[in-house]
Every structure is written in structure tokens, then in C-alpha cells.
Amino acid sequence: MSAPATRRTVLRAAAWTVPAVTVVAAAPAHAASAARLTMTWVPDPDFENGIRVTVGNPTAYPESFVLRTPLVAAPDISFNGWTDLQGQWDITIEDDDYVAQSSIDAGATVTFGLSWFFETAGVTGTAYLTLIGSLSPTLVVGVPLPLAPA
């Protein structure tokens, strides 16, 4: 026959049980998913110093994202504009960057164009594209300018 439960043994058991339940309850629903947006670019044959950017979402979840590119990539190299934006985009200027916000469906890709304007011939620089996903880590890709002829 077991000994009767005392107040001390009940409190000790409760003290060990409550934190274990709290830890399990704190885990987010998508903690196990390894969401990873991808971003690649190739020279755009239709625009001098333009590129075609592809953002991919190989995961099973839709994801919103922000793409930032500087207004000025280097002295005398300015961002010229976006082309072929498909779907819903919100484009603003923040902290000397063009900022484009959109979303991408699970398993989908989105392709669009970016281009730069050179105020002086012979200048070089690098434009950094920053992709910030709602579920993915930040990805930064450098685009050396001017682009080599295709």
C-alpha cells in the first residue's frame, strides 16, 4: 500500500509538470518547416544594364517577402526601374532604397526585371538586392555593374 499524498509531494509534482507543458505549448505551428526563398538573376537581353530576377518558393507554404535595392548603387549609377511585375506589388522608397513588397505561392516562382542608369561612362559598382521573407532568412545578392555583355 502506498503512502498518502502530502501537500509537499503534490506541489513538487506540479512544479515539474507545469514548465514541461509550457515549453510544449510555446512551439510555433511551422517550427519544423525549413522555408527558404531563393533568388537568382541573369542579364536581361532587352535592357542594357538590366537583369531578370527570379524569386522561388520551393516550400509547401505561401510566403510574403520584401525586396530592397538601393536608389544609388554607386556614384553616378542610379536605379532605373522595375519591369514585368506580375500580381500585387507595393513599391515605396525607404531609407534611400526602393522597396517592393509582394507574396509568392507555395512551389511557385516570380520573375521580373530591374535596370540601372549610368550618368557617367566607365563607372563601376555593385547593386545589392536584399530579399527578406516572412518565414525565410534574409538573402543578399550582389549585382556587379555595369553588366558584362550577354
What are residue 62's phi and psi, to 5 degrees?
A: -65, 155
Domain assignment present for 11: no
Quote the mean pLDDT of the chain.
79
Domain assignment present for 92: yes
pLDDT exceeding 70 applies to what percent of the chain? 75
Domain that holds residue 141: 38-145
Domain assignment present for 14: no
Domain assignment present for 12: no
pTM: 0.72
Q: What's the CATH code of the domain at 130? A: 2.60.40.10
Cβ-count burial 129-143 (b if 16+ within 10 Å, e if not): bbbbbebbeebeeeb
Domain count, the chain: 1
Domain assignment present for 7: no
Query: Per-residue pLDDT for 82 more than 50?
Result: yes
- The total of other beta-carbon atoms located within 10 Å of residue 25's CB is 7
Domain assignment present for 67: yes
Query: Per-residue pLDDT for 18 more than 50?
Result: no
C-alpha cell at 126: 555593385
C-alpha cell at 78: 542610379
Residue 35 near residue 75 (C-beta atoms within 8 A): no
Query: Per-residue pLDDT for 65 more than 90?
Result: yes
What are residue 65's phi and psi, to 5 degrees?
A: -150, 160
Domain assignment present for 94: yes
Structure confidence at residue 81 (pLDDT)? 83
Structure confidence at residue 21 (pLDDT)? 35
Domain assignment present for 91: yes
Query: Per-residue pLDDT for 62 more than 60?
Result: yes
